[in-house]
């Protein structure tokens, strides 16, 4: 049997045996060379090691937008002062008088020097990194050697956060062995802490899948060392996630009929639940959990939408009952969309916003917990999140059916695949900022296209000349020449078509992030089946890391797989 289908353990038990080396701790701070100086109020000032280390965190970020933000500067300065000696606190009173430029230049130069290293030196560094990976990057889980995802602790630095995070600029402290809880099996070789240190605790909990954990100091959240996505454990979990989404396919019609009926419910709470569910289903919105105020950036999901996040237009751009959404979702990504909704939904929304202030909750009687309880009742294992997975996967499958032309060459089919993937990314609102190098690489591609066009024109001339020659001489040699020139022309035309496809793809993709949906929302078996059906090499869709993560799907799916 394949390793995906080995015996299942009893509920809650994740492993019988787990052995590993513990986390790899990032190297300690190396003080700056004597000649690299920090200046305060125009005069050089020698800093104590701890203060200097934190100064380098800020110095490294000088050319970053973060260091221009007041909240970042204030948080940094207040945390930095806490770590200073009392003498330093007496002198360093204002950030504006601090000059980090020399330190910044030192790190920029160091970086450039590392990039410019000869090949042998780079190879040596790679070998050292590989050695650490070999030693710390694997564990033994139930007799299998499995790769660990993130086996290094995060280095200390300044917290960035996404969007306008109120804690940006705060000091992310160095993780020490004393902060770390180790999890392994009782009979395994228990990892040794670095010399002179001890672990916070060692536990033997086989109902969880993490190998080590600690609490980070900024949000006070737990961080874990987990297995790599390619491991059996993660693969099984991934597979189960898509199986739950496939089960939704069989009951989604019943669920839709149910929420439509609830739009007319006597209870306002049920109406709110039904409208929210309609949005989650139709627009693939995230559920949106309740959050502590002031702890994170102000982002919302469906259940936490406020009145100010929607505008209702009875008529707009020739459509009826239009809801205009404008809010910041997860990771402070803006969601902006104008959607024509069904009349009862529109009327309910008018009711929900009545007599409310802009900052009031749209669904004031609804919590994510209440919504998910209801969903669990409708189908075992169903939560709001499953709708996103289901709608993403079903969209990919339908778009692939609609867009793939069996007559196309590989490049043409891949363009269709990316277009289907784009439809999903747009549904899920997976955006990216236009890459900095976009204009330049587009220009390079355009130059290639122009050069190729010229070659095609020249080849057309050559074919015409050869044909005229053959008309005159009618001999076999001239005929062969015509064939040869035509072949060349055909090859060049194919190359030009391929370049044009690339340009289209690049342009359509500049603000859309395909990776998120590919890794997290799309059942890989749909893509594997499509590849097998149309003879596309899987490596054209999934890179090496992705192929490792989706090994279970590549194993399982034949060309007839239907989500």
| Catalytic residue IDs | 521
DSSP assigned state of 361: B
User: How far is it, in rounded angstroms, from Cα 345 to Cα 275?
Assistant: 6
Burial class of 210 by CB neighbour count within 10 A (0 to 12, 13 to 18, 19+): middle
- Strands (E) across 211-368 are located at 212-215, 222-225, 310-316, 319-328, 334-340
- CA quadruple 279, 283, 284, 286: dihedral, nearest 10: -50
DSSP string, 491-555: HHHHHHHHHHHHHHHHHHTTTB--HHHHHHTS-HHHHHHHHHHHT--GGGTS-HHHHHHTHHHHH
User: How far is it, in rounded angstroms, from Cα 140 to Cα 132?
Assistant: 16
* Residue entry with tokens 């007041």: 70
User: How far is it, in rounded angstroms, from Cα 285 to Cα 339?
Assistant: 13
User: How far is it, in rounded angstroms, from Cα 504 to Cα 292?
Assistant: 44
User: How far is it, in rounded angstroms, from Cα 526 to Cα 562?
Assistant: 7
Nearest CA-CA partner of 23 in 172, 218, 174: 174
Sign of the Cα torsion 330, 332, 333, 334 reads positive
User: How far is it, in rounded angstroms, from Cα 388 to Cα 522?
Assistant: 10
User: How far is it, in rounded angstroms, from Cα 71 to Cα 78?
Assistant: 11
């Amino acid at each position: 049997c394949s390793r995906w289908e080995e015996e299942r353990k009893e509920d809650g038990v994740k492993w019988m045996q787990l052995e590993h080396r513990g986390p790899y701790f990032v190297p300690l701070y190396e003080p700056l060379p004597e000649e690299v100086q920090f200046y305060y109020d125009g005069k050089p000032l020698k800093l104590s090691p701890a203060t200097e280390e934190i100064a380098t965190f800020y110095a490294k970020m000088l050319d970053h937008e973060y260091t221009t933000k007041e909240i970042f500067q204030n948080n940094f300065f207040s945390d930095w002062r806490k770590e200073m000696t009392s003498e330093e606190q007496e002198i360093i009173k204002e950030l504006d008088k601090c000059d980090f430029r020399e330190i910044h230049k030192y790190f920029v130069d160091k970086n450039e020097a590392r990039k410019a290293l000869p090949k042998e030196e780079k190879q040596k560094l790679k070998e050292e990194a590989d050695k650490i990976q070999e030693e710390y990057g694997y564990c033994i889980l139930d007799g299998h050697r499995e790769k660990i995802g993130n086996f290094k602790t995060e280095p200390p630095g300044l917290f960035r956060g996404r969007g306008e995070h109120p804690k940006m600029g705060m000091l992310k402290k160095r993780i020490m062995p004393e902060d770390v809880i180790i999890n392994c099996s009782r009979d395994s070789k228990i990892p040794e802490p670095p010399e002179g240190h001890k672990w916070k605790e060692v536990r033997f909990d086989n109902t969880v899948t993490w190998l080590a954990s600690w609490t980070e100091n900024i949000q006070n959240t737990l961080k874990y060392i987990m297995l790599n996505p390619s491991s059996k454990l993660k693969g099984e979990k991934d597979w189960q996630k898509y199986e739950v989404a496939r089960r939704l396919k069989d009951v989604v019609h019943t669920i839709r009929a149910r929420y439509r009926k609830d739009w007319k419910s006597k209870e306002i709470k049920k109406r709110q639940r039904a409208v929210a569910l309609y949005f989650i289903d139709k627009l693939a919105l995230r559920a949106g959990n309740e959050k502590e105020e002031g702890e994170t950036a102000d982002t919302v999901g469906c259940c936490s939408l406020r009145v100010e996040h929607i505008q209702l237009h009875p008529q707009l751009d020739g459509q009826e009952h239009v809801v205009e959404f404008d809010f910041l979702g997860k990771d402070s990504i803006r969601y902006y969309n104008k959607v024509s909704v069904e009349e009862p939904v529109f009327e309910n929304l008018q009711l929900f916003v009545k007599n409310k202030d802009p900052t009031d909750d749209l669904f004031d009687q609804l919590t994510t917990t209440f919504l998910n309880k209801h969903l669990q009742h409708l189908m075992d294992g169903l939560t709001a999140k499953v709708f996103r997975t289901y709608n993403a996967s079903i969209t990919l499958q339908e778009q692939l059916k609609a867009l793939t032309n069996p007559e196309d060459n590989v490049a043409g089919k891949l363009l269709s695949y990316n277009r289907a993937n784009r439809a999903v990314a747009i549904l899920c609102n997976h955006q990216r900022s236009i890459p900095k190098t976009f204009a330049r690489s587009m220009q390079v591609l355009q130059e290639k296209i122009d050069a190729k066009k010229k070659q095609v024109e020249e080849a057309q001339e050559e074919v015409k000349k050869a044909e005229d020659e053959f008309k005159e001489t009618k001999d076999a040699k001239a005929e062969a020449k015509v064939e040869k020139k035509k072949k060349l022309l055909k090859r060049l035309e194919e190359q030009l078509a391929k370049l044009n496809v690339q340009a289209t793809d690049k342009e359509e993709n500049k603000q859309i992030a395909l990776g998120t949906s590919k890794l997290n929302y799309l059942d890989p078996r749909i893509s594997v089946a499509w590849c097998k059906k149309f003879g596309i090499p899987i490596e054209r869709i999934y890179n090496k890391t992705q192929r490792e993560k989706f090994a279970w799907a590549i194993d399982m799916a034949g060309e007839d797989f239907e989500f």
